[in-house]
Structure 1
Amino acid sequence: MTKAKILIVEDEAFFAQNLKIHLEHVGYEVLGIAISGETAVESVAASRPDLVIMDIVLEGKMDGIEAAQLIRSRFNVPVLYLTAYADEHLFQRAKITEPSAYLLKPFSERELQLTIETALYRHQMEIRLRENEAQLADERHLREVVARERAEQALLESEDRYRSIVEASPDAIGVVADGIVVLVNSAAVKLLGVESKSEVIGTKPEDWVSPEYYAQISQRMSSVLENRIINQRMPYKLMRRDGTTVDIEAVSFAFDYMGVSSLLVMVRDVSARNKAEEMLQRFRVAIDSSADGIYLIDRPSMRFIDFNEIGCSCLGYTREELFSLGPQDIKPLFSKQALEEYFDEMLRSGSTGNFIETFHKRKDHSLFPVEINVRAIKSDSGSTIVAIARDVTKRHEAEKLLRDSEEKFRQLAENIREVFWVRDDVTGQMLYVSPAYETVWGRTCESLIERPRSFLSAVHPDDIERVSDTFAFHRVEGGAYDHEYRIVRPDGSVRWIWARISPVLDANGKVYRTVGMAEDITHIKLREASLEESEERFRQLAENIQDTFWIREADFNKLIYISPAYETIWGKSRESLFNDPRSFIESIHPDDREHVLAVLQKQQTDQIWFNEKYRLVRPDGEIRWVWSRAFPVRDAQGKIYRMAGIVSDITDRIVAEDALRESEERFRMLFEHAPVGFAIIGKDYKYIEVNQVLSTMLGYSQDELLNKTFGDLTYPDDLEVDLEYCRKLFSSEIPSYKLAKRYIRKNGEVFWIDLIGTVIHNEAGEPLYALAIINDVTERKQEEASRFAFEVSQRNTLVREVHHRIKNNLQGVVGLLRQHVVEHPNVKRELEAAIARINSIAMVYGLQSEDMQEQVRLCDMVCGICSSAQIMMEAMIEPIVEVDVIKPVKIAKEEAVPVALILNELIHNAIKHSRPGQDCQPIQVFMGGDENRVTVRVQNKSAGLPGEFDFSTGSGLGTGLSLVKSLLPHEGAQLDFSIEADMVSAQFVLTPPVIVNEAGFSKSGLCPE
């Protein structure tokens, strides 16, 4: 028999691999595993399997139902749905695709095989039926009858085979028609605990379930029959014949049985599975809750097949990434071959566990130490390695810290002034004594180690009995204790010692060591000797301060001390309070008395501090505010035996605080109701508080503004100045500032405001916040702009008239000079040069009179000079354009006349020095460049330059070029001369600030049209 070829579509790698192993184990050929709907369709197209096992829920754009629909419609390949979900919506969608079978996770290998065989058989029958139908359509009526009979016989045979499959099913299967069980298999008889099928046939399904499921079962059966759907697998409690219950899952679907619309019901005993799942869930929770990384490794492929969350996160990989790796990828100290040999040896020897300490490598290639317990597991499905890895980084760090701690302890014990010692309570041996023993006792450490009780011999005779009794008592009673005593050093000096002794318990709670510390407190005792003097100073202080200071017994029944300020504040004598320690309560204001007494009671009960402000009424009726603080005083044993307190008259402060609150309220009213914007700004330039006027002005809500800085709303060109002012404000360089600036509203609109900034200080005078007062001056700015535009218009009219008059006057001068040329031909050359220069200046003024900004376009200037020279000197000038710029260039107004004179001299010199005769070539004027650099080149044929010519030094220059050199701007202009063959070139290069960009050159001529 040919093996059925199966394609698995499942996005859970571990489950897909296990399913593949099961399928191959029972004799099927697995063509591959697809992890998405798209790849499933491609794989079916390429390999044409006999069956597709499809997980309904898949990652990606196409789920299992969509993929199954494509596969069925395009390739006619049967699909077996596989899913862990039992969702009504999914069943409805799945039903439309007409699957060959439907299997819910989990399932047994036997159940899987039976379902696959049923699906394959059903598909074959569908193919045969379609073939029969096609054949019947093409044949005559007689053949149709014969084919139909054969088809019916085939269907009968199919039903017999189907009955055989049903009878062989391990699940209980029954057919329900008209609410009555009409067919059951042997598995159902066994599950119900009856003797024969006849005991079940004829009963109702409700007879075999717990009463609480009656309504649910009835509703489910009706829904399946009406909608012809596959019912979800539902859990129930089955009632066996003997009255015991069994956990079951039932799934049903509608079909026609014996011509009647019926239900096929499949019931599975899931009692054992539920228990196993519960145990498996507990096991999984335990694994996922483990602080150690747990990995399952497939030995043949040397790949991870499962791991817990900590095992994934500690390596820095995602689950998908780690599934594609193996142990050799995370163990830098082991090769793959070495790991394979190690695992194989464990499998051969049956080793139950080996501990290894090594390093793991994270995704970022960093290493960390781990302790690994490795076990090998053999099974029918293959060999698996279980590795439990514990990150021991912290343990290593703790070990290092312990070593460091021991070293620090040694350094501390050997360098502190206190004596530190450790004694073994079992043997009485002194295990350690610090070097300070020799300094304090004046005896060697070796003497104490040799004779552990020798330190007692140094105890002062008056204290020896008390010290010995204390030691004996606490050896019996246990616990830590401390005491003071005196010692006599070998030199006869007496020292006071404070000792603290503590027992050390073993694991059983028994004392096995004692540690102690002894401190030389002689200096403390000396200070105590001056206590009386200190107390006297205290008395002088307490009796002269303005606050009342008092000391009384813990129960408030006896006053020990009260300072004279009591009489000033209370207006009563101190003697009255000594006579009646609780009489001060009578002076407490009636409205405050109950609260104060409650707090006093709580202080006594809970042993807490008293800290209250209240009013008292003096005998003269005056009301004073006081601030009372009281605290417990403890004795050497930590027991409260006294109470002390201070009472301050804070009437003036309360009055000031009231005045401050009134001032703050006035400020608040101004802040919220003023017709201008107010904002309080922090040192981080964020808004802390804004009023509604500012919020409306900017178009933001107040909450939105509190998440912004003033820089977020300031026009970029104005921000630097405002930030500098604010910095000076917070650094106390200026007390306030005024600034006109622009803001940007939420809708993008820019508007002008007047800003007044000042600073709010804290009590220490330090800058705390900035206060900004903002006034919208948009209308005022618009009026100023209109007024300025009118003034500019008037000025331009005046300038244009002045330039026109200057040009006309210069033209008159040129006319006079031309008359002198006629009258005085001997100075014709000099006069023509002067005429050319005046024409250049006149041309500049003529151009400026046309431009409101008094800037002349360079192309207009060159064209004008060329035209003038052609007319006056009857020369040919050929303008050539070599420009590739968008914006034309203008000459700055202050450089217009010098540049025009330079160009005039260059063109006239070129004309004068051109080679005479019939081969005289036109003067060529080139102009080209871009908006940042423009070159004007004047070129002519000539006999050459004089030998001594050097423009940079001024050597060999004529009158004209000397003038050019003197007129050349110091910045933004450069003039060079060159000669090639018989062509002489003057190259005049202009850059900013001499040139100013505006619009573009025309490529059709020297100047734009």
Structure 2
Amino acid sequence: MKPTALAMTHRTDDAWFDLVPQALIEFDEHGHLLRSNAAFAGMFGKAPAPGALLGHESEALQQLTGWDAPLALIGLAPGAPPMTNLAFIDQGSSNRRYLRSQVHAHPAVPGQPERFLCVVHDTNPLALVVQTPQPPDFTNTSGEPTGLMEFDQDQLLHELRTILESSPAGIAYVRDNILVRCNRRFERMLGLNPGTLTGQHLDALLASDPRIRRVVDQSTVELKNTGQFESELEIVAPGFPTRWYALSVRRIGPRTDTLEVIAVLSDITRIRSQQAQLEALGRDRDLMFTMSGVGIAFVRDGLVQSANPALASLLGLDHQDMAGRPLASLYITDVDTSTLARTDDQILAQLGEHGHWQGERALRHPRGTPLWAEVNLRLVKPDQPEEGFIASFVNVDDRHRAEQYLTLQADRTRAILDSVFVGIVTLDSGGIAWMNRSARRMFGGDLPDFLGHPLSTVATSDIDHPFRLTGYLDDLLDGQSHTFECQVMGRDGRVFWVVGNAVVTLGEFGERQITYALMDIDRRREAEALTAEAQATLQRIIEMAPMTITLCDAKTLTVIQANQAASAFMKIEPAKAAGLTPEQIHGANRGRQLRTDMLRALDSAKPLQREYKFEQGPGSSVQTWDVSYLPLSHDGQTADQLLLVASDVSEQRAAEQARLEAAIAQREMLVKEVHHRIKNNLQGVAGLLQQIAARKPEVASAISEVVGQVQAIAQVYGLQVGAGGPLRLKNVIEAIAQSVQRTFSRTITLVVEGSNASEWQLPEAESIPIALSLNELLTNAHKHGLAAEALTCSLICGEQQVCIEIRNAGLLPEGFNVHRVPGGVSGLGLVRALLPRRSSKLSMTQEGEQVVTRIELNPPGISLVPTPHILGAPSGQQIALWPQ
């Protein structure tokens, strides 16, 4: 501690110190003068400056304070008898003032240097002053009077002898290389037996250890030059550990006289050990400072005084550039969002108040991105903030960014949980800790309304309600869950059903929490109740239904369930049919047929209807069953069950067949009668027209054309008299060709090509238009062709269409196009108007000397005769129990 600092610590008692009439002076173990009072200044002639070193003051002041032999002060303990010293000061040529002092040790203060108080007494002689030489270690050998009164000499010698023997330092008086006197401590410190050195030559001492000889030789030279010598001596006594001593040798008397010295040995082994420890600690401190991975800096007045390489590496700077840099320049304040971070003034205020500060700060880095570090500031001296502080920096950038990422993830998770339709509620030991938006909407309140409350606040009055169970946190293991269904009563009074799942999770600080996932199933419960009621109703309907209803397994086709009416179809009781295959129930032949249709319905995944005729037995009637197969499956999945619905339609089919046959017979009879009368009427009309043509030759040609048309229509009705259903195309063509041939007495050759010519038929609505068109084309060929040559009419039948081709000798006009002929009531215009456009095509071409007219007929204008009805094929009305 500096002298000024020590002087400041004593300013509280300076007042009383100056008022004491006794001369006082105070100093510490380092030789710093702390203070002196006015009485000392008046006695000594001047007051030494506070903070001065005793080693630089006068010899008399050093003798009074005992600093001429400082090692003797080491053994002076607080409360021990004071150490007495003698000295004199010159006050003129013949006047000397003799002073006597007593040095007391102050009680030790932890962390402060040891202090001593020197009390000075004036010892000027008031009686006879003796000239007896004083002991060599306290008197001047020049023969000056000691200033002590004779009656004090024995007491003084006794005190000096007591002080000499009780001193913790080894003291010896040597004169002319003879060790005149020494205390026992001196001999023991050198490892010699007490009482063996007094009066012996120095050679006896030098022979004990060569290191002593070397020190003595050095001290002899220094004493001749300066009068004093100080050194440290290492002594290794046999049987004792190595000891270190501080040697202080001071010459007394004039330099011209015989060499007289006082040697003082002080044990500094503990001090040397402490110095070695301090040096080791210093080395360790420097090593820790330089080798530590934590950035450390010493800061004073806001500037970095020194920094270790770890801090420079952390900041990406040169280690030499750290000194003198402002500490505030290391921070980035615009991104410092730490909850512990404050402004620099606030940080310094807290540091001065508490002596330390800890927080996270964003450091500048050359790469441009902030580097987060944990900063710890601590004052070097808590009571003196101006002495500076130590700042340590630990890189927590990865942890800080991980925390930011975890916070972002937590926010995202909360946002996701708020967006789901499932209610999420988290509970800890204190009650509800958090719930998402769906749960708040479900419970009819906001989050503050439920925080800290138990989940049973929304439970019904049921004492066994799952929300009243509190053992989940202790009973459930990590990863285990508990599923339940219960009723919930919201804050709005609504009571509804939920299905829940409880699982134990870990909270933010590692504590166990329980998380509930709740789904409102009130509508589902209502739907289940309605479904159960509908299923019960359906089951009753099925049991009471008069038709056979059987449910079969899709894989094995065995019967799962059948109603009572199914016994008529299976010829076995429904209870006995469970688990049996179709072959086991219906026999090999019938069962094989049923299995085939079942598999076909399952493969197509569509409803399939079949009608079976089964004989009851040899010679008995045939029973007809209308059977429907319906595969049962979920959307997009394979059917796992097959529903079979069968109805006995034997009587219905017999009645339908009888009614159908009667209706057909009646219709055929009526149609034949009508067609016969139409034909007769048309032939009567044709006869009347021919009579008119005979009476009026000027219109004979026009009337003959009309007569041909009427005859063509009559031929169609004539053909319908003997036919049931649609007319055969071949018969119509033959009838029209014969009618035209009779009318105009013109030979017409009919050619038929195709094996299926007799199977093509005309619908009833198309018969007359085709007949009139064919009549007009044959009449047109007769009028415009050469009379000497016969007309040719060919029927060419294919698999998909029929072509009627008419050939006659003649020439078409140049540029003739049948599609440009306008519609009319006769000729080609009538043909274009009558032919159905969707199923026919008309063309006229010139092939050599012949004109070829073609009519192409396509379905549905014509059709093939349908195949006969196959016994067992579906017929009648289909009964559907489920939507198709």
Task: Provide TM-score, normalisation by structure 2.
Answer: 0.37
- The higher radius of gyration belongs to 2
TM-score (norm 1): 0.33
Richer in helix (by share): 1
